Amino acid sequence: MLRLERRPTPSRFWQYGTPVVAVVLTMIAGGLLFALLGKDPFAVIRTIFWDPLFGEFAWYLRGQLLVKAGPLILIAIGLALGFRAGIWNIGAEGQYVMGAVIGASVGLAAYPTESRLIYPAMVLAGAFGGWIWAMIPAILKTRFNTNEILVSLMLVYVAETILAKAATGFLRNPEGAGFPGSRSFSSYKAASNPELIAGSGLHWGGVAALVTAGLVYVLLQRHILGFQIKLAGQAPRAARFHGVNPTRLVVFCMGISGALAGLAGLFEVSGPAGQISIDFNSGYGFTAIIVAFLGRLNPLGIVLAGLLMALTYVGGEMAATNIGLPSAAIQVFQGMLLFFLLGVDVLSNYRIRFLLFVKEAR
């Protein structure tokens, strides 16, 4: 029979090898699915994984990967900090929305003033919006011991209602003839977040994501706070003996993840999305949770995981338009990819032993 045996230290080889194994397994299983649906599996898989990177239109799509991955990475890094400390912020989607709404409010309040101070003010307001929204579950947790998973999740729905109200009410474009949606940021220079290099897909959000990844990496490796976070997650008791203040840790981790999610929302609304609309949010906050785990809660891993996730989105869209694959099939395919990535991870922490004749000793 098969048995798992814990490795004393995670296998270096498999840490790098498992993602490859997972992608290959997904291609096989996904190929079967696509064949079942009557599509050419090789064509579909090439469209998803190859074409966005090296295909005919790769010069455009490579930039789009950054656009898609930017918010995912930014949010996931913040979440990963909390997850490491055992603090479960599941409501990043709501913090993302609130960052966008509050940041956009500041920008639109200044309309039509052109000043170089406006965008920095919006960035601060966006981070503040996400931060304050994350503070609600944080404070309820520290004061009343209320479960942060559920409070943050419930607040997503509240934020969505506020978003709808913003789009149809207080942020509605006064020149939009009563239609829902705010003014467009792309036509308001001081408040817009354009591509920094034309065609690269890189805007301030992408820059922020990469910088944050670096900073958090250093924080976790070198700073006492990083050590405390890791300790609190792995051995809460020991952490307390070490003088880690759990209240401060919760407030810090929730605050950082909320602020980063708020930033992601602000960069998105002033850049790629371009305006506040009823359906502004498209699930980045939830997908980022998966990205955080795919990246093994490691900032650099998260950057790669975010790009991989973006690849399946962008490639999946191409497969849908060019090959006529239903978008549901892409969702199933993404689900499978996640299952395999998570599943094969066992190889880096455990050894698989085939036991044929060894009797289980008890």
Partner 1 sequence: MKRRTLLATAAIGLGLGLAGAAQAQDKTKACFVYVGPIGDGGWTYQHDQGRLAVIEAFGDKVETAYQESVPEGADAERVLTQMALSGCDIIFTTSFGYMDPTNNVAAKFPNVKFEHATGYKREHPNVATYNARFYEGRAVMGTIAGRMTKSNKIGYIGSFPIPEVVQGINSSFIHARKVNPDVTISVVWAYTWFDPAKEADAAKALIEQGVDVILAHTDSTAPLAEAAKSGGKVIGFGQASDMAEYKPSPRVSSIIDNWAPYYVKRVQAVIDGTWESQDAWEGIGGGEVGIGEITDAVPAEVKAEAEAMRDAIGSGAYHPFTGPLNKQDGSAWLAAGEVADDGTLAGMNFFVEGITGDIPQ
Partner 2 sequence: MDFYGINPAVLIASLMVAAVPIMLAALGELVVEKAGVLNLGVEGMMIVGAIAGFIAAVTSGSPVVGFLGGALAGAALSLVFALLTQFLLTNQVATGLALTLFGLGLSSLAGQGYNGIKPPATHAVPFGPLAEIPFFGRILFSHDWMVYFSVAMIALVWWVLRSTRLGLIIRAVGENHEAAHSLGYKVNRIRLGCILFGGAMAGMGGAYVSLIRVPQWTDGITAGAGWIALAIVVFASWKPWRVLIGAYLFGGITVLQLNLQAAGARIPVEYLSMSPYLITILVLVIMSSGRGRAGLSAPAALGQNFHASR
Contacting residues toward partner 1, per CB under 8 A: 56-57, 59-61, 64, 67-68, 161, 164-165, 168-169, 176-181, 184, 186, 268, 271-275, 277-280, 282-283, 313-314, 317-318, 320-322, 324, 326-328
| Residue 149 partner contact from partner 2, partner 1, none using kind-dependent CB cut-offs of 5 to 8 Å | partner 2
The binding track of 228-257 with respect to partner 2, each residue x by CB under 8 A or -, is: ------------------------------
Helix (H) or strand (E) holding 54: helix 51-54
Measuring CA to CA, which residue among 68, 26, 46, 73 is closest to residue 305? Answer: 73
Let me know: does 320 contact 326? Beta carbons within 8 Å: yes
**C-alpha dihedral over 323, 333, 64, 134, to 10 degrees?**
150
| Of 177 and 356, CB closest to partner 1 | 177
C-alpha 263/C-alpha 110 separation (Å) is: 19
Measuring CA to CA, which residue among 314, 297, 345 is closest to residue 19? Answer: 345
Query: Which listed residue (158, 225, 278, 320) binds partner 2 by CB under 8 A?
Result: 158
Q: How long a stretch of residues is the chain?
A: 362
Interface stretch with partner 2, choices 114-122, 187-195, 205-213, 345-353 (CB under 8 A): 345-353
| Residue 311 partner contact from partner 1, partner 2, none using kind-dependent CB cut-offs of 5 to 8 Å | none
| Residue 349 partner contact from partner 2, partner 1, none using kind-dependent CB cut-offs of 5 to 8 Å | partner 2
3-state secondary structure 200-226: CCCCHHHHHHHHHHHHHHHHHHHCHHH
Q: Count other Cβ atoms within 10 Å, centred on residue 217.
A: 18
Let me know: does 292 contact 299? Beta carbons within 8 Å: no
Structure tokens at 124: 């601060």
Min dist. Cβ of residue 275 to partner 1 (A): 6
Let me know: does 101 contact 166? Beta carbons within 8 Å: yes
| Residue 143 partner contact from partner 2, partner 1, none using kind-dependent CB cut-offs of 5 to 8 Å | partner 2
Let me know: does 142 contact 251? Beta carbons within 8 Å: yes
Residues 28-47, interacting with partner 2 (CB under 8 A) = 37
Give 351's strand partners. Answer: 5
| Residue 157 partner contact from partner 1, partner 2, none using kind-dependent CB cut-offs of 5 to 8 Å | partner 2
| Residue 59 partner contact from partner 2, partner 1, none using kind-dependent CB cut-offs of 5 to 8 Å | partner 1
Min dist. Cβ of residue 233 to partner 1 (A): 33
The binding track of 256-295 with respect to partner 2, each residue x by CB under 8 A or -, is: ------------------------------x--xx-xxx-
Give 4's strand partners. Answer: 352
C-alpha 160/C-alpha 286 separation (Å) is: 14
Residue 217 has, within 13 A of its CA and on its CB side, a CA count of: 15
Helix (H) or strand (E) holding 148: helix 148-165
| Residue 193 partner contact from partner 1, partner 2, none using kind-dependent CB cut-offs of 5 to 8 Å | none
Residues 85-114, interacting with partner 2 (CB under 8 A) = 88, 90
Helix (H) or strand (E) holding 289: helix 284-294
Interface stretch with partner 2, choices 39-47, 102-110, 268-276, 323-331 (CB under 8 A): 323-331
Min dist. Cβ of residue 125 to partner 2 (A): 22
| Of 135 and 342, CB closest to partner 2 | 342
Q: Counting contacts by CB under 8 A, is residue 151 touching partner 2?
A: yes
Residues found near partner 2 in the complex (CB under 8 A): 4-6, 37, 83, 88, 90, 140, 143-147, 149-151, 153-155, 157-158, 161-162, 164-165, 286, 289-290, 292-294, 326, 328-336, 338-339, 342-346, 349-350, 361
